[in-house]
Amino acid sequence: MEPTTELVRLVYASRATFPASLDKASLNADMARILMQSRRNNPPRGLLGALYFADGCFFQCLEGPAREVDALYARLGIDSRHRDLAVLSREPIAQPSFSGWAMKYVPNASIVRQLLDRHGLASFDPYRFDAAMLSDMVGLLVSGPDSVLADRPDRTRAAGSGDALSVARRARMLASLALAASVISLILVIAR
């Protein structure tokens, strides 16, 4: 019998050290790099998750083997793109909620604004989230659209898509799309 690997979900917040994109609809070059790296590096480690970024703050949910989740969080502590890292929750899980997502990126959307309004928050500040807001935000990440393939979620989350090879292929494809979006956004900013 094989030893079981404890799966955990870690939710953290951090502040970005880079400026936000001037165009709220486009993906900042730093964010595109983070997504590319995550979508390339997470599948071999068995890591899944989702990321949200607004008002200079990251809100990320990581799922996978405890050792890998903790190792990634430790690396984030020395990543110059993050500061003020704070674990908001860490708990064992029976199965991941983000199967098929090496790193889902939920765009700065009106559904988050509605969630903030319901909780009486004027801006996105995950350091102030109570347990109910934290739970609601994780639920929004699970159900919200991915910014790169928002119009085709069924193709990126197909049943049985969790095998390592298909996850790795999808991660490479999404990384390429994120890079292309970043380059286009950069060209548009330069052209102005």
* Predicted confidence (pLDDT) per residue in 78-129, tens digit: 888 888 989 999 999 999 998 878 888 887 678 888 999 999 998 899 999 9
With CA atoms as reference, report the closest residue to 129 among 31, 63, 71, 52.
Answer: 52
> Where in the chain are the domains?
7-191
pLDDT digits (tens, 9 = 90+) for 148-188: 533 333 333 333 334 433 444 454 555 555 555 555 655 55
The answer to whether residues 82 and 76 touch, using CB atoms and an 8 Å cutoff, is: yes
Per-residue DSSP letters for 42-72? HHHHT-EEEEEEETTEEEEEEEEEHHHHHHH
Q: Within 13 Å, how many C-alpha atoms sit on residue 158's CB side?
A: 9
Cα–Cα distance measured from residue 168 to residue 178, given in angstroms and rounded to the nearest whole number: 15
Burial environment of residue 74 by CB neighbours within 10 A (0 to 12, 13 to 18, 19 or more): exposed
The whole-model pTM stands at: 0.71
Retrieve residue 147's tokens: 């910014």
- Does an H or E element contain 10, and which? strand 7-16
What is the token pair recorded at 79? Answer: 């990543």
pLDDT tens digits, 133-147: 999 999 999 987 776
Which strands, in side-by-side order, build the sheet including 57-65? 82-92, 7-16, 57-65, 48-54, 104-106
State pLDDT tens for residues 55-81: 888 899 999 999 999 999 999 888 888
CATH number of the domain located at residue range(s) 7-191 in this protein: 3.30.70.100
Are residues 39 and 174 in contact, defined by beta-carbon separation less than 8 angstroms? Answer: yes
